[in-house]
Structures are given as structure tokens and as C-alpha cells.
Amino acid sequence: MRVGGYMATYEYSCSRCGAFDVRLPIGAAPARQSCPRCSAPARRVYSAPALVSTSPAVTALHEQEERSRENPAVVTRVPPRRAVRRPAHPAVARLPRP
């Protein structure tokens, strides 16, 4: 089996010492790893991937979603439609404006 050069952070949990992280090549993480403090076998914990490389817009949307879980915005009526002004023919849109 060929393992790529990309590294991933895997989380393990020791029953004596608690959680710790190990960086290993992707796909090379065993189900059990020795605890770095007490050398006892620790089991692998499956968790959500880190979302540190998201754009500020995506981060803001995630935060807005979290806030709306506790205090959702209540809509009492349908918002009015905005009038969209479109030229009669697409060629008219390219004409110079006065």
C-alpha cells in the first residue's frame, strides 16, 4: 500500500490521560495508538474535520445559522417584490446612457 505525503491530524482518547492528537500520513492512522504520556493503548476518536480554511463569508453564514437555532427570525408577511427594469430588447441595454 502506497501512502501519500499529505499529513492529517488524528484524534485519540486515552482512558487514563484523556484526548491527544497525532499527525500521520492520510490513510495511515491505526485504530489504536500508544498514549504519549502513559503508553497505554488509546482508541481513535472520529470527529468532524476542522473548518479553518473557510472564507469569511462562509464563516459568517455558519455563525448566522448557529444564532438562528436559538432565536429564529419570524416572518409575519411576504416581503414586497422589487420592480426589475429590463429593456425590451437585449441590444437596447448596450446603448449609451444620456
Please report, for the chain, the start and end positions of each structural domain, with discontinuous segments joined by +.
1-47
Element housing 65 (H / E): helix 56-70
Count other C-beta atoms under 10 Å from residue 42's C-beta: 24
Which has the closest alpha carbon to 17: 4, 5, 33? 33
Q: What is the pLDDT of residues 22-69, one digit of tens each?
A: 999 988 899 999 999 999 999 999 877 765 677 888 888 888 888 888
What is the model's pLDDT at position 23? 93
